[in-house]
Chains A and B, each alone.
Chain A
Amino acid sequence: MFPDEFYDFLLDGVLTIGLTHYLILSVLLFSLGILCMVTKRNAIGILIGVELVLNAASINFVAFSKYQTGGLDGHIVALFIILLAAAEAAIAIAIFMNFYNTLRTIDVDRGDELRL
């Protein structure tokens, strides 16, 4: 029904998942994270955008570890990324609590002064 090249393309580019598929997914997640960081005015929305960017980065590390280097290095780096994300979220939420206690809002556009 279709020429053979079509089936080759289907098998090579669409059905055989390779590094490029993961990289493109990671690019899309990264861009969505940046978009989230830029458009949200709620400080916690910005934090969620940062989490998306960090996840995109660790997908890259694990995909490269599987398809390029073949070792465990990417997995370890992704572990450290998860750890840093947890630490960063804890500090960020603590700062937001202070921000809220001071300004009675979580709108980052209101936080343009270093002190009151």
Chain B
Amino acid sequence: MDVFEQALGFYLFAAVALFSAIGIVVTKNIVRAAVLLLGTLGGVACLYFVLSANFLAAIQLIVYAGGTLILIVFGVMLTSKSPFVVFTPSRVQIGIAVVIAVVLATSLCTLLLQVDWSATATDQPIVQSPQVKVVGESLLQQYLVPFEVASVLLLVVMIGAAYLARPEN
């Protein structure tokens, strides 16, 4: 991918992700927030493509947009009498929260702009996307222990979620 394609892709998908995220924060309707989350997750998945992480982008779309988002939408439907139920926090709370978020964003930005990243940069950024085979091999060799721990975690989560969400009595 040449420089201009990368710039175009980055700005396009970053804008999609950011504006969806802003929409999530601004909207009072939880269903709309769940739908806008799809925009952010899709934008981030496309950014993974731009970063030449194709396998990760596919997984992001399948697991996040396909699984987690559906779960959230079901959660919305099952926990409200009307899907358009609205809880509004007070203006003071919103003001304090906005101040905190802006301070956080500006301080993190100034911090990361002060660091000279070029000192540790790799000579050759990954251009060729790594094969799925390479990812699978490193999952089962170098990262075998976290992989197994993750499978145990998923089992525990499955049992725990079924136990917690069982019908009363």
Interface residues of A (CB under 8 A from B): 11, 14-25, 27-36, 38-45, 47-49, 51-52, 55, 58-59, 62-63, 65-70, 72, 75-76, 78-80, 82-87, 89-91, 93-101, 106-107, 109
Contacts and interface: CB of A to CB of B under 8 A. Distances in A.
Contacts of B6: 17
Contacts of A82: 59-60, 63-64
15 contacts: A24-B112, A27-B108, A29-B44, A31-B101, A32-B21, A68-B117, A72-B130, A79-B135, A82-B63, A93-B72, A93-B161, A94-B161, A97-B79, A106-B80, A106-B85
Interface of B: 3-4, 6-7, 10, 14, 17-18, 21-22, 24-25, 30, 33-34, 37, 40-41, 44, 47-48, 50-53, 55-56, 59-60, 63-64, 67-68, 71-72, 74-76, 78-80, 85, 87-89, 93-94, 97-98, 100-102, 104-105, 108-109, 112-113, 117, 120-122, 124-126, 130, 134-135, 138-139, 143, 146, 150, 153-154, 157-158, 160-162, 164-165, 168
Contact of A70 (B98, B124, B146): B124
Contacts, number: 227
Contact of B97 (A19, A39, A93): A39
